[in-house]
Amino acid sequence: MKELPLSKVYQLLEPGPVVLLTTAHKGRVNVMTMSWHMMVEFEPPLVACVVSGANYSFAALLATGECVIAIPARKLAAKVVKVGNSSGRDIDKFETFGLTPILGKRVTPPLVAECFANLECKVTDTSLVKKYNLLILEVLKAWTDPAQKNPKTIHHHGYGKFVVDGETIKLKSNMR
Amino acid sequence: MKELPLSKVYQLLEPGPVVLLTTAHKGRVNVMTMSWHMMVEFEPPLVACVVSGANYSFAALLATGECVIAIPARKLAAKVVKVGNSSGRDIDKFETFGLTPILGKRVTPPLVAECFANLECKVTDTSLVKKYNLLILEVLKAWTDPAQKNPKTIHHHGYGKFVVDGETIKLKSNMR
């Protein structure tokens, strides 16, 4: 994995891909699927996300204040759905679905080796957890896999329907 | 425009498309481009978004507590960029860029006739405005244009680079 400057992190999340979120708590690592996230600040990169209290990851996230956001490309779509349809209460999802946890530098939750990007995060604001299960994360370190060229991400439209990245267009713009 | 059940609104925003946001304040309508948004609740649909204080729309949004989120398809990409690169302080963007404001049912800001979906929203929580310019919106009414079949949305990767929706895949899933 190659380090990505923090100033470029928003370019990964702003397009709205389905992501994986990993946690580590009481000696167990876990991974969930997430689509409700957005950028909040460019740099340091702040990310808002909504994690249901029904998710096994929720308690781990709150207790440890750490997670990794891992971004899967299209080839991982089937695994992403399996991760979303099962609970870390019942199984070790990394082992069951053949995902490889690797150590990051700043937080305990693992990166996902198969993902083309991994963002090490800490929870920085829980003031809207009670009302909306909304957390603010700061990205501390970002990694991309140079071996995955032009990865196509997937975007969830509900009930297992995903749209994959298609054509890229470049328009003259002064919008960052 | 045809009414869309509120229970389906998340299917439009969860994939992370670039959207337009309209406001109406002191007799002037305005429209801005936005990519920092996410779903917060299914029903009633709650949406979080970040609107920079530098945007002319920001004051209107705060003062009136109303907006419309309009979702453009690929054919509007060039106009979406023009909207993002100009300010309502200087010009009437609807007129300048040939967008058609039409009246909704629940709020004063206009729908955008050229967009395939329009969501009438009210601001329901401003507690994170001071810290992050983050607002919570509730979608009161949702509309889609039946004449636009299978619209392809655009997703911003920074500096005018957009990825257009490609292939659709359907996987067996119990994820809503």
What pLDDT is stored for residue B175 in this prediction?
87
pLDDT digits (tens, 9 = 90+) for B142-171: 999 999 999 999 999 999 999 999 999 999
What pLDDT is stored for residue A107 in this prediction?
98
Label residue A73 by pLDDT band (50, 70, 90): very high
User: What is the Cα–Cα distance from B112 to B159, expressed in whole angstroms?
Assistant: 24
User: What is the Cα–Cα distance from B138 to B125, expressed in whole angstroms?
Assistant: 9
Going B74 to A169 to A159 to B67, the CA torsion angle's sign is: negative
Q: Which of B16, B174, B175 sits opposite A15 (nearest CB)?
A: B16
CA dihedral angle for residue B163, residue B164, residue B170, residue B171, rounded to 10 degrees: 10
Give me the residues of chain B with pLDDT under 70, please: none
Min Cα separation B55/chain A (Å)? 12
Interface of B with A in 68-127 (CB under 8 A): 77-78, 81, 84-85, 125, 127
What pLDDT is stored for residue A8 in this prediction?
98
Q: Which of A14, A158, A159 sits opposite B157 (nearest CB)?
A: A14
If you average pLDDT over every residue of chain A, what do you get?
Answer: 97
Which chain B residues are Cβ-neighbours of A152 within 8 angstroms?
Answer: 166
Going A160 to A165 to A167 to A170, the CA torsion angle's sign is: positive
Q: CA of A8: which chain B residue's CA is closest?
A: B158
Min Cα separation B136/chain A (Å)? 10
pLDDT digits (tens, 9 = 90+) for A74-111: 999 999 999 999 999 999 999 999 999 999 999 999 99
User: What is the Cα–Cα distance from B118 to B110, expressed in whole angstroms?
Assistant: 9
CB of B6 closer than 8 Å to CB of B46: no
Q: Do B176 and A158 touch (CB under 8 A)?
A: yes
Q: Which of A11, A165, A172 sits opposite B158 (nearest CB)?
A: A11
CA angle A166, A170, A175 (to 5 degrees): 115
What pLDDT is stored for residue B51 in this prediction?
97
CB of B31 closer than 8 Å to CB of B19: no
Which chain B residues are Cβ-neighbours of A163 within 8 angstroms?
Answer: 15, 165-169
Helix, strand, coil percentages in chain B from 3-state DSSP, rounded to 5: 20, 40, 40
What pLDDT is stored for residue A23 in this prediction?
98
Q: Do B128 and A131 touch (CB under 8 A)?
A: no
Which has the closest alpha carbon to B70: B36, B33, B107, B108? Answer: B33
CB of B21 closer than 8 Å to CB of B102: no
User: Could you give the percent of chain A with pLDDT greater than 70?
Assistant: 100
The strand ranges marked E within B18-107 are 19-25, 28-34, 37-41, 46-50, 66-71, 101-102
Contacts of B158 (CB under 8 A, 6+ apart): A8, A10, A11, A14, A176
pLDDT digits (tens, 9 = 90+) for A41-72: 999 999 999 999 999 999 999 999 999 999 99
What pLDDT is stored for residue B129 in this prediction?
97
Label residue A38 by pLDDT band (50, 70, 90): very high
Min Cα separation A39/chain B (Å)? 6
Residue A175: pLDDT above 90? no
Label residue A150 by pLDDT band (50, 70, 90): very high
User: Could you give the percent of chain A with pLDDT greater than 90?
Assistant: 99
